[in-house]
């Protein structure tokens, strides 16, 4: 068993997870490691999404013409008048 644990340093996360499960002597460590791997993927995905959103918002702000920006501001300011028209 100790020889196989020394090899863990060179293994990928999935291989480590499989080895922990195979020994079946550390059920809590298996669950904790599985949760940790899931959280890392989730955080990376969320960071990527926010990064893409930030890039898109910056692009939209920089390409929006002054005329369109003014029009949107008027719509927001005169919201009550627009609701009466509908």
Residue spans of the domains in the chain: they are 2-85
* pLDDT band, residue 76 (cuts 50/70/90): confident
What is the structure's pLDDT at 17? 75
Long-range contacts of 42-45 (CB under 8 A, 24+ apart): none
Residue 17 · residue 34 · CB < 8 Å: yes
* pLDDT band, residue 11 (cuts 50/70/90): low
């Amino acid at each position: 068993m100790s020889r196989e644990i020394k090899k863990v340093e060179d293994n990928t996360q999935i291989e480590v997870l499989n080895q922990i499960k195979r020994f079946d002597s550390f059920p809590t460590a298996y669950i904790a490691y599985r949760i940790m791997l899931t959280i890392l993927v989730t955080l990376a995905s969320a960071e990527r999404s926010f990064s893409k959103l930030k890039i898109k918002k910056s692009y939209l702000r920089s390409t929006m013409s002054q005329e369109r920006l003014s029009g949107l501001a008027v719509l927001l300011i005169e919201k009550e008048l627009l609701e009466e028209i509908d």
